[in-house]
Structure 1
């Protein structure tokens, strides 16, 4: 019986959450003007950072412009993303964001042929 209790205590102690060293926040600035306009800046000691400013838009939304960054897993540098969110949607810019593959030449040719057929009144059912 003592062995079972000892085994249970060992399991409970091993299952306890293991927290790594906490990362200190080196900057945390926030301003909310209450009218849809705001700004914030956040930075941690490991290089993670985010900042944004927002102004009231014409349709009642907040138009936001900002950026965020975080370190690469291999420690070789940082990923930085700049963005705008407004009436025209969310647009992000970064060399690290994936881009669509270029359209193959044969697809461009097929699209050109289809456009010519539409212009000539050819339809398919």
Structure 2
């Protein structure tokens, strides 16, 4: 029984020694890290790394007690041809992001636009359906 336990421990030791010792092949250095938190819902931060990854945001108090945030982030494309940059706003109207890299919905078909127009006319005329 002791020989089996010794063999299992030896196998586990071999597996742990064979495991990769470094998870990130190229460590990334942080080149800029600035943060301000005023404790009242207002804040700002800027973060940059030497590989081009960056993020920045600022927040102010909103009318409903939330922080209204405006910011952006960027990261390099896998093929090295450039960067993805996303700008966003998060406030009482929700989260809205803008970037040419974000997917866009398909255009609304003409027959759906017509049905929506008819439904709006019916609502304006007081017609309801149960």
- CA separation of 1:118 and 1:18: change in aligned 2, threshold 3 A: same
Partner of 1:89: 94
| CA RMSD, Structure 1 to Structure 2 (Å) | 2.7
Residue 96 of structure 2 aligns to a residue in which SS?
strand
Partner of 1:102: 107
Give the distance between the partners of 1:39 and 1:120, measured in 2 at CA. Answer: 50
Partner of 2:79: 74
Give the distance between the partners of 2:123 and 2:40, measured in 1 at CA. Answer: 51
Query: How many pairs does the alignment contain?
Result: 124
Partner of 1:58: 63
Give the distance between the partners of 2:23 and 2:48, measured in 1 at CA. Answer: 21
Deviation at 1:87, TM superposition (A): 1.0
The equivalences for 1:5-24 within 5 A come to 7-15=11-19, 17-20=21-24, 21-24=26-29
Q: Which moved more, 1:113-122 or 1:21-30?
A: 113-122
Deviation at 1:121, TM superposition (A): 9.1
- CA separation of 1:77 and 1:106: change in aligned 2, threshold 3 A: same
Indicate whether 1:43 and 2:30 are aligned: no
Normalised by the length of structure 1, the TM-score is 0.79
Deviation at 1:102, TM superposition (A): 0.8
Give the distance between the partners of 2:122 and 2:64, measured in 1 at CA. Answer: 42
Which structure 2 residue ranges, 5 or more long, are not aligned? none
